[in-house]
Chains A and B, each alone.
Chain A
């Protein structure tokens, strides 16, 4: 096992270096640089002033020199300074954004799972009833609405018109931290993030449960006089959940994309907002650092998943 882990880690390290080269090259291929983002075209700066800033930040050096300098520092855990935020180090900046994103995604997925499974069950057991049709129509809209649209509409309806939830941010500015305040800020973006996933889970759950409800063992259970509630909860649900669980696993990746939109609309201080702001302002060190950390997380999670498979199922060989 140990040689396998070491080999995977070494491969992962090479992949991270390749990723950093790719991002570095792509960034430099894009027109404009951090200094260009810094200048307000309505308030012109002289080229000499811009050149001085560029030289101070090292952007006047040849690209390989710039990359090697970054790589050398990154190898020691120093991902440099944010250009747009005076004196802010990239590594702590990126690390502090992981928590809010995980919180938003976890809350969104949890809501999606609860709502999706519950609605799927109701739809299946009341097939073709007004409840089923109603849920199906809602699910249709949920699946087909893009995240940014639902986010903006939800913000307008629940924050501006109804004032049920704050319109953005993670905590009330200047107020002492409280769980209630955090939840009040979390609930709306999490619910909006969950819509698409809940709709998808609901459709899968409904289809899967309907299929299981027609199986012989369900019919047998009913014939034995088991009450309908327990037929569904004990006999049908477990088997019907299997494809849904697989689906939930595969939607986590999609959730990251949705979270970026939601974070942007709600000013949620996660990785998505950080990356969008960094791209807008060509904050190269932050883009490089965030990409590297996300890449490292993916590699480590993949490795852990493979190891977990091996631990759970002895038939899987990891050597």
Chain B
């Protein structure tokens, strides 16, 4: 009898436990949009200082604003904090007419803030990543409170693209701090003041950031009361929260798309990643000097088969570093899959003497299951023509540590599998391919030194006529296609998934998370 009592007691305890489990989280207040805005390659979790940001712009743009910004199609630069801008004939003076706006603390936004921000961004002591990009800026002049003139010492075709990433900062709140204090200051994560549609409320370390609507926003009071950016250790955790209904948006890996595609509760957002994946040939090793070897690599890989089978068709073949139509000229060599031709080219080049079947380390920081499958397929295809590559997968800091070492060991990365941003600003490739960008000057860590390509980049960067700019980048594409500094593979699509409850929600899979005019003030959510 007593034993039964014990059994009953345990059963009751178990029941109580189960009841506790069913206690759901406290209901959120109305009109709160919660998302994993920093999940995936466009995010930059825990980063709050826009001067030092190399990603996460989707989120930063919810409470900070640049002078100008890309449109949501990433096809043109349009106004943001500047209503309009004009460029002089020499392309050395950019005059910005500023919008009437107040900072989140109620103080007026003026041209002094623009000068203050540009000066900070040029000062290396602030931890800025803009110093080199703003090299051409000689001064900022302020004819009046609503006008700022950025003067350049030489034309810079990339200035506007740089300015889209430069969030304007409040002079009145930050001028009391030294640049060094700004670099390590707590202001960014505790009481930042912007001009965007939402105001910073709180950051709970490694958990979330909460913003609240700015009632005085110049484009109208935001429709949502709060926007919350929840942090997740990985994409899988964010997808679980999305499926559990706890968040309304996150970036997802392509493997997860199928789970949402036919579900009416969600909307899949698809777009180009603007990152060209390539096999990078290290020019400091003797393996790849002969262009016929590089051509053989292109012919040996059945890119379309990999796109069809491993990317589910969600990628576009790249025959140079670009895939955007306006940047790709007619008549490129398509490097069709032709293993026989690859073998013939290798024989012509004397591959047996250059390397033969000796293993070649193939370094990458791509560590997703999909990337592993892609690399296995490429490895098998290259093996068929007699090139023996051995993948080595490391984490990003290790990869960067190897390729950017002061005195690098080139034998550690004779071949890499990597990606580089190729849009919306096509000048992004310059830093990795121009001979003038070899370290320590730039990020051309493969030491590519191809005169035609360098000339094409230099011409494109100096081109200040917007009508001619695409033609100049087409020349870059042609040079890449002919000289093959990389075996360009494809540009994959990226995906976000939003709850069907979200209305007027704009997100595009922009590299580094944008920035672009996402108009968060229009986002709303159905109860």
Which single member of A40, A86, A166 contacts B246 (CB below 8 Å)?
A: A166
Also in contact, A184 and B204, with CB within 8 A (given A32-B398, A37-B397, A86-B49): no
Which single member of B5, B55, B208, B419 contacts A173 (CB below 8 Å)?
A: B208
Q: In the complex, what's the smallest C-beta–C-beta distance from B101 to chain A, in angstroms?
A: 25
| Chain B residues near A43 (CB-CB < 8 A) | 54-55, 421, 428, 511-512
B10 touches A47 (CB 8 A): no
A114 vs B12: C-alpha distance in the bound complex, in angstroms? 13
A54 vs B233: C-alpha distance in the bound complex, in angstroms? 26
Contact flags B106-142 to A (C-beta < 8 A → 1, else 0): 0000000000000000001101010110000000000
A36 touches B246 (CB 8 A): no
A168 vs B243: C-alpha distance in the bound complex, in angstroms? 13
- Asked if A18 lies at the interface with its beta carbon under 8 angstroms from chain B, I say no
Q: Interface stretch among B284-292, B435-443, B459-467?
A: B435-443
State which residues 277-292 of A face B: CB under 8 Å.
Answer: 277, 280-282
B47 touches A84 (CB 8 A): yes
State which residues 136-185 of A face B: CB under 8 Å.
Answer: 152, 155-156, 158-160, 163-176, 178, 180-181, 183-185
- Asked if B41 lies at the interface with its beta carbon under 8 angstroms from chain A, I say yes
Which single member of B23, B127, B396, B428 contacts A37 (CB below 8 Å)?
A: B396
| Chain A residues near B243 (CB-CB < 8 A) | 160
| Chain A residues near B3 (CB-CB < 8 A) | 125, 228-229, 232
B240 touches A93 (CB 8 A): no
A42 touches B240 (CB 8 A): no
- Asked if A44 lies at the interface with its beta carbon under 8 angstroms from chain B, I say yes
- Asked if A121 lies at the interface with its beta carbon under 8 angstroms from chain B, I say yes
| Chain B residues near A47 (CB-CB < 8 A) | 404, 439-443
- Asked if B402 lies at the interface with its beta carbon under 8 angstroms from chain A, I say yes
B233 touches A276 (CB 8 A): yes
| Chain A residues near B187 (CB-CB < 8 A) | 87
A166 vs B244: C-alpha distance in the bound complex, in angstroms? 8
B207 touches A169 (CB 8 A): yes
Also in contact, A39 and B54, with CB within 8 A (given A53-B127, A265-B233): yes
Contact flags B187-208 to A (C-beta < 8 A → 1, else 0): 1110000000000010011111
- Asked if B76 lies at the interface with its beta carbon under 8 angstroms from chain A, I say no
| Chain B residues near A174 (CB-CB < 8 A) | 28-29, 32, 34, 201, 208, 210, 226, 228
- Asked if B184 lies at the interface with its beta carbon under 8 angstroms from chain A, I say yes
A273 vs B186: C-alpha distance in the bound complex, in angstroms? 21
Also in contact, A167 and B437, with CB within 8 A (given A48-B132, A86-B184, A187-B20): no
Closest to A84 in B: B46
A269 vs B49: C-alpha distance in the bound complex, in angstroms? 22
B441 touches A42 (CB 8 A): no
Q: In the complex, what's the smallest C-beta–C-beta distance from B516 to chain A, in angstroms?
A: 15
A191 vs B20: C-alpha distance in the bound complex, in angstroms? 11
Closest to A80 in B: B184
A28 vs B34: C-alpha distance in the bound complex, in angstroms? 38
Which single member of A85, A118, A152, A159 contacts B244 (CB below 8 Å)?
A: A159
Interface size class of B (residues with CB under 8 A): 35 or more
A48 touches B129 (CB 8 A): no
| Chain B residues near A125 (CB-CB < 8 A) | 3
State which residues 69-116 of B face A: CB under 8 Å.
Answer: none
- Asked if A315 lies at the interface with its beta carbon under 8 angstroms from chain B, I say no
Q: In the complex, what's the smallest C-beta–C-beta distance from A266 to chain B, in angstroms?
A: 8
B431 touches A46 (CB 8 A): yes
- Asked if B414 lies at the interface with its beta carbon under 8 angstroms from chain A, I say no
Which single member of B13, B21, B400, B443 contacts A46 (CB below 8 Å)?
A: B443
- Asked if B324 lies at the interface with its beta carbon under 8 angstroms from chain A, I say no
A187 vs B22: C-alpha distance in the bound complex, in angstroms? 10
A118 touches B28 (CB 8 A): no
- Asked if B507 lies at the interface with its beta carbon under 8 angstroms from chain A, I say no
State which residues 60-111 of A face B: CB under 8 Å.
Answer: 81, 84-88, 93, 96, 111
A7 vs B440: C-alpha distance in the bound complex, in angstroms? 52
Also in contact, A269 and B237, with CB within 8 A (given A178-B26, A181-B26): no
| Chain A residues near B28 (CB-CB < 8 A) | 172-175
Q: In the complex, what's the smallest C-beta–C-beta distance from A118 to chain B, in angstroms?
A: 5
Which single member of A37, A156, A232 contacts B240 (CB below 8 Å)?
A: A156
- Asked if B343 lies at the interface with its beta carbon under 8 angstroms from chain A, I say no
Max chain A Cβ within 10 angstroms of own Cβ: one of B26, B127, B511:
B26
B244 touches A160 (CB 8 A): yes
- Asked if B373 lies at the interface with its beta carbon under 8 angstroms from chain A, I say no
A122 vs B11: C-alpha distance in the bound complex, in angstroms? 12
Also in contact, A39 and B240, with CB within 8 A (given A174-B208, A174-B226): no
A274 touches B206 (CB 8 A): yes
Also in contact, A269 and B206, with CB within 8 A (given A43-B512, A174-B228, A228-B3): yes
- Asked if B496 lies at the interface with its beta carbon under 8 angstroms from chain A, I say no
A175 touches B246 (CB 8 A): no
Q: In the complex, what's the smallest C-beta–C-beta distance from A46 to chain B, in angstroms?
A: 5
Closest to B6 in A: A229
Also in contact, A56 and B183, with CB within 8 A (given A31-B397, A43-B428, A173-B34): yes
A–B Cβ pairs within 8 angstroms, 18 of them: A31-B394, A32-B396, A35-B400, A41-B418, A42-B512, A46-B442, A46-B443, A52-B124, A56-B183, A85-B205, A87-B184, A174-B32, A229-B5, A265-B237, A267-B237, A269-B204, A269-B207, A277-B233
15 A-B pairs besides A31-B401, A47-B441, A48-B441 with CB distance below 8 A are: A33-B401, A36-B396, A36-B397, A37-B396, A39-B396, A52-B124, A81-B184, A88-B189, A96-B205, A163-B244, A166-B24, A173-B207, A174-B32, A183-B23, A277-B206
Closest CB pairs A-B (n = 5): A229-B2, A32-B397, A32-B401, A44-B443, A36-B400
